[in-house]
Amino acid sequence: MVRSDHGALNRAVRASLFADGQGSGSQGSDSQGFRHLHVIRFQETDAAGVMYFANLLTLCHEAYEVALAAAGFDITHFFSRENAVAVPIVHTEADFYRPMHCGETVAIYPRATQLSAHSFEICYKIYAVSSQIAETDPSEPADVELADADIELADIAPAHKSQAHKRRDPRGIAKALTRHVCINSATRQRQPLTPELKRWIESLSEPTAAND
């Protein structure tokens, strides 16, 4: 497994391996499975003060990388030319339900589905964890309820704990999808997914009790 030494952000990554500090018996897609937390940075925003649209895919790929590392993949090797297989992205799409602002903490939930013997897709659902926008606009719902065991948000961003019990928008704030094809790195021809990738995809599959 690849480990990082980035202090508070590393603690956030480790905390993202658990959803809401609860077990698999929790209800809803926001309380099961893998989750990655991310603080929207100034450099990720545009002149309008919101996250630049293309950076949503960067954010999702970050969650993808962390999910691979959490499963034990050596991502330095995984994304290198020395790896005998590659899984390039061949299709992407995204929907935005509201803007994301600098300093806002979001939770990304990747859910993987095997499409064929050599392809899979990952659907990413993005929910707000903390938002100054929500504080100034009472009609703006916070999307994720945090448990105390999840993460100390003060380590990575100002905590807005008053948002934790607000009404949840089931759509979240955005969603995205990436479709991947497994190929031989040398020949660039399609090949079957490796057993390790199949197990990883299964581990990130949509929980049966999840709500859309």
Rounded-to-integer distance, Cα 12 and Cα 100, Å: 19
Angstrom distances, CA of residue 142 to CA of 130, 131, 149, 184: 7, 8, 18, 43
Active-site position among 46, 74, 95, 137: 46
Angstrom distances, CA of residue 67 to CA of 92, 132, 147, 197: 18, 28, 21, 12
Is 155 one of the annotated active-site residues of the chain? no
In eight-state DSSP terms, residue 13 is H
How many Cβ atoms are within 10 Å of 73's Cβ, its own excluded?
A: 19
Active site residues per annotation: 46
